[in-house]
Amino acid sequence: MAGLIFALDAARAGRVAIITKREIKESNTQYAQGGIAAVTSLDDTFDLHVQDTLKAGDGLCREDAVRLLVENGPAAIDYLIGAGARFTRQDGGPGAPLSLHREGGHSKRRIIHTEDLTGQEIERALIDAARLEKNITIMEYHTAIDLVLQSKIEGTGDPARVAGAFVLDAATGTVKTILAPATFMAAGGMGKVYLYTTNPDISSGDGIAMAFRAGAEIANMEFMQFHPTCLYHPGLKSFLITEAMRGEGALLRLVTGETFMEKYHPMGCLAPRDVVARAIDTEMKQRGDDFVLLDATHLPPQTVREKFPNIHRTLLPHGLDITKDKIPVVPAAHYICGGINVDIHGRSSLPGLYAGGENACTGVHGANRLASNSLLEAIVFSRRAAQKAAEEWVPRKIKIVNPWSAGNAVDSDEQVVITQNWDEIRRTMWNYVGIVRSDKRLVRAQRRIKLVRDEVKQYYWDFNVTSDLIELRNILTCAELVIESAMQRRESRGLHYNIDYPAKDAVPRDTILHSAVK
């Protein structure tokens, strides 16, 4: 979503290439069920939305970014409707008021949605618009490897800057150098760093890893949001059960039938995600259960079918009728609140590199993202980045300081190295850097990941790059960033809970990581 919106706006100023490693629709946006948080009703206010966001962010939100986000909410919805997105309305008519859900952490109903397939509908509209734009070239099945770095040009006052990307063409196996005066990183999340995730297989942290290797600031990587309710079922991998179900009154129960969220938060099942995920994790570990139950069976069956038609349709062939059966759920890695550190214009610490969407840290989410703020963030800040990139564009001579070279690399005959190391990273992160952490667990994780890094580094330089190898390298980098950030934060705040430091520091602070260019 972030990349498409940036491209559509930037195309007014010049030519744009969209690089995507699978088909263009395959992204986290495609699987977003809930919706977009925006103030559109008379009983809601910007101040309420701001306060809900700041409360969820647990002291680490940048208030100027939050207010900018919220106050641009109505215009963002109008933008999407103008682009062709069709949202659910109260009586189904085109002129009727928008249907609004409520989700955990929100004090009002403000979630605009398209049934429970909001992301899919938004993507449909934006992709259709992008395909019609003559200034946009879409390059599917091209995997970005690293950013192109331009050296400082003597006598111009220009610092070193990002000038495009090295890209692997999956069809030919060749590496292309694509140059550009502005590069916008919208590579999405990094859920595949963990063993259990709601994310699709492509979510390997590519954008964050590439930016870090180029020298960009990375912020707050310890704040991985675990979605409380991912379906626990062998037949449906990574299927998300939207928070809107709890917003409509569904209850969390133990396998024995008792409710438990009232023990953990005054809002019960409508508590913020970090509280709910930690409560479920605690109950499962104390009891030795594999899952808890999400119960909507007390709600009117027609209401459940109308509000959650995709969930109902998807689960029915697998023996679950959500109007009659309780849904087995577990927490799973869902959304990274940190990422490439950017300002309110989407600018990173590296000139020429902008970022938006999940791989960016705008400061909106702080230590814990409020549900459905992410799609709004992708609209507001991506549009601002496109405007700023166009304003800052000037012709430049480009001298690449890191030209691509395959060296003496050959084709690999040891795919097992990639498979085993991928599995090792994800299991280590799940077991030691999950919902509840400790110093001992983090040290163990760091030690194991270092061993993997040494092996992957040698393998990377010995063999020709493939999409699998690029993704392995990136999840390894992101795993290291999460561990390092978690070790630096000696407190428990938001999504980061360390049993050795259960209290919060008096003064909130961001965790900023830097890398020398390598």
Domain with CATH 3.90.700.10 in the chain: 224-333
**Are residues 16 and 134 in contact, defined by beta-carbon separation less than 8 angstroms?**
no
Task: Give dist(CA 94, CA 172) in Å, integer.
Answer: 47
Give the residues of the chain that fall short of pLDDT 70. 92, 152-159, 407-410, 412-414, 516-518
The C-alpha angle 113, 189, 67, rounded to 5 degrees, equals 55
Annotated catalytic residues are 273
Q: Quote the Cα angle for 132-134-140, to 5°.
A: 75
Nearest to 65 by CA among 390, 340, 342: 342
Nearest to 7 by CA among 139, 104, 103, 109: 139
pLDDT digits (tens, 9 = 90+) for 368-398: 999 899 999 999 999 999 999 999 988 777 7
The set of residues, in sequence order, having a beta carbon less than 8 Å from that of 114 and lying 6+ positions away, is: 35, 85, 86, 87, 88, 120, 121, 122
Contacts of 454 (CB under 8 A, 6+ apart): none
Calpha distance 378→69 (Å, rounded) = 10
User: What pLDDT shows up at residue 518?
Assistant: 47
**DSSP conformational letter for 507:** S
Structure token digits, residue 40: 């559109």
Class of domain 415-510: mainly alpha
Chain position carrying tokens 């060296």: 407
d(CA 506, CA 458): 44
CATH 1.20.58.100 residue ranges for the chain: 415-510
- 297: left (phi > 0), else alpha (psi -120 to 50), else beta? alpha
Q: Residue type at 218? A: I
| In this structure, CATH architecture of domain 2-139+339-392 | 3-Layer(bba) Sandwich (3.50)
Rama region for 204: left / alpha / beta (φ>0; ψ in -120 to 50; rest) = alpha
| Residues of each domain in the chain carrying CATH 3.50.50.60 | 2-139+339-392
Q: What is the pTM of this model?
A: 0.89
CATH number attached to the domain at 224-333: 3.90.700.10
- CA 55 from chain centre, in angstroms, equals 20
How far apart CA 368 and CA 337 sit, in angstroms, is 7
Short-list 178, 180, 202, CA closest to 190: 202
Residues 6+ apart with CB under 8 A from 285: none
DSSP one-letter code for 250: -
Closest CA to 253 of 292, 298, 297: 292
Give me the residues paired with residue 143 across strands. 168
- For residue 155, the model assigns a pLDDT of 46
pLDDT tens across 181-222, in order?
999 999 999 999 998 898 988 999 999 999 999 999 999 999
Cα 412 from Cα 325, distance rounded (Å): 49
Report residue 502 as tokens: 């259960």
Record the tokens describing residue 6, joined without a space. Answer: 């940036």
